[in-house]
């Protein structure tokens, strides 16, 4: 179930408990969609639920009935394997019908395993090959500046994704171009496909890397709505450089047996596991 709001985002105000209820529904949809599809990426979808919920319900200006509205804030999902999360959020707002969520990854569905921008209203960029979203966002931020539009661009990266060299090409360029209308969020859940980041490819010290590249760095608990809201309010006041929010998260957050478990990076829950997950999520 979704709320299917289908109104411009600035028409409604949401309390923290509203956001918690939305996040609960989104998590239920994520595990159910992936179970139904028989494949997908629950871990990195669940870890970023609060981040994306905060953006769509508290931060971004957007309008489900006009997804190409030129003044909309842009959300770029660079970690395209978290597609189920984005689809579930878009369904909450009525960009897509909530019934459609259960067609994920099936033939003739618009909901590709990784996001495809030409098929789904509200998806700004095709993603799946990692590392490209921040560069793409730079293009959007530069266009906004040229057109004297005051929209902002928010880009969600995975921490494993930061292994990609292109992320750092983009980090250098965004600071060079002084893009204060661009905010990156790193879903820092500490796990990539093959295991823990620290064992596969250590990306620490992550905050110092972004600082060294010329970014304002804010670190938050990525499951705390108040901390996320405050961080997104702060980045709007930073001038002359881009900002990155390093959101410390738990991979698989909300489902005990998926939490901090590399096995659920890219594995669907079976029927028993789904029942257990839904019971835990409430």
Partner 1 sequence: MAEISLREVYGKTLVELGRLNPDIVVLDADLSKSTMTRYFAETFPDRFFNVGIAEQNLISIAAGLAASGKIPFASTFAVFAPGRCFDQVRMSVAQPHLNVKIVTTHGGITVGEDGITHQAIEDLALACALPGFTVVVPADATETAQVIRVAAEIEGPFYIRLPRMKLPDILGEKYRFVPGKAGELKPGDDLTIAAIGVMVAPALKAAGLLQQMGIEARVLNVSTLMPLDVDAIIKAAQETGAIVTAEEHLEHGGLGSAIARETAKKFPVPMEMVALNSYAQSGKPEDLLKRYGLTAEDIVQAARRVVERKKR
Binding test (CB under 8 A) with partner 1, winner from 32, 98, 135, 183: 135
Binding test (CB under 8 A) with partner 1, winner from 38, 97, 139, 195: 139
Q: Crossing angle of helices 16-37/225-235, nearest 10°?
A: 100
Place of tokens 């060294």: 212
**Minimal CA–CA distance to 197: which of 165, 159, 171, 223?**
159
Contact between 148 and partner 1 per CB under 8 A: no
Binding test (CB under 8 A) with partner 1, winner from 67, 102, 142, 207: 142
- DSSP of 30-53: HHHHHHHHT---HHHHHTTHHHHH
The number of CA neighbours under 13 Å toward the Cβ of 266 is: 9
CB nearer partner 1, residue 117 or residue 207? 117
Contact between 67 and partner 1 per CB under 8 A: no
Binding test (CB under 8 A) with partner 1, winner from 73, 124, 161, 180: 124
Using alpha carbons only, what angle is made at residue 177 by residues 171 and 183, rounded to the nearest 5 degrees?
A: 55
- Judged by CB under 8 A, the chain residues 214 through 273 that form the site for partner 1 are none
- What is the DSSP-derived secondary structure letter of residue 188? E
Report helix, strand or coil for 222. Answer: coil
Contact between 160 and partner 1 per CB under 8 A: no
CB nearer partner 1, residue 127 or residue 250? 127
Q: H-helix or E-strand containing 28?
A: helix 16-37
Min. distance of Cβ 170 from partner 1 in angstroms?
A: 6
- What is the DSSP-derived secondary structure letter of residue 18? H
Contact between 115 and partner 1 per CB under 8 A: no
**Minimal CA–CA distance to 104: which of 154, 31, 162, 33?**
33
**Minimal CA–CA distance to 18: which of 48, 56, 75?**
56
Stretch that binds partner 1, among 28-36, 42-50, 167-175, 266-274 (CB under 8 A): 167-175
How many Å apart are CA 43 and CA 218, to the nearest integer? 23
Binding test (CB under 8 A) with partner 1, winner from 10, 21, 147, 263: 147
Min. distance of Cβ 112 from partner 1 in angstroms?
A: 10
Contact between 107 and partner 1 per CB under 8 A: no
Min. distance of Cβ 84 from partner 1 in angstroms?
A: 19
Binding test (CB under 8 A) with partner 1, winner from 4, 177, 196, 229: 177
Residues that bind partner 1 (CB under 8 A): 116-118, 124-129, 131-133, 135-144, 146-147, 165-166, 169-170, 172-173, 176-177
């Amino acid at each position: 179930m979704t709320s299917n709001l289908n109104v411009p985002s600035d028409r409604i105000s949401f309390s923290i408990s509203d956001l918690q209820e939305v996040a609960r529904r989104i998590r239920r949809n994520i595990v159910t969609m992936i179970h139904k599809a028989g494949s997908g990426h629950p871990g990195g979808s669940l870890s970023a639920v609060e981040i994306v919920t905060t953006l769509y319900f508290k931060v971004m200006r957007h309008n489900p009935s006009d997804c190409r509205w030129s003044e909309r804030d842009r959300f770029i999902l660079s970690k395209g394997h978290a597609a189920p999360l984005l689809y579930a959020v878009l369904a909450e707002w009525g960009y897509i019908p909530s019934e459609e969520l259960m067609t994920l990854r099936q033939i003739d569905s618009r909901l590709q395993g990784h996001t495809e921008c030409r098929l789904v209203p509200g998806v700004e960029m095709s993603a799946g090959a990692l590392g490209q979203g921040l560069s793409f966002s730079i293009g959007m931020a530069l266009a906004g500046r040229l057109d004297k539009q005051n929209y902002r661009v928010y880009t969600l990266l995975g921490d494993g994704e930061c292994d990609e060299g292109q992320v750092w090409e983009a980090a250098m360029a965004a600071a060079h171009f002084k893009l204060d209308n661009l905010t990156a969020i790193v879903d820092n859940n500490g796990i990539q496909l093959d295991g823990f980041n620290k064992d596969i490819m250590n990306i620490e010290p992550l905050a110092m890397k972004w600082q060294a590249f010329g970014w304002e760095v804010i670190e938050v608990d990525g499951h705390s709505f108040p901390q996320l809201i405050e961080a997104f309010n702060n980045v709007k006041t930073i001038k002359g450089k881009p900002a990155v929010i390093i959101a410390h998260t738990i991979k698989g957050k909300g489902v005990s047996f998926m939490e901090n478990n590399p096995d659920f990076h890219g594995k669907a829950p079976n029927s028993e596991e789904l029942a257990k997950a839904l019971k835990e999520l409430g």
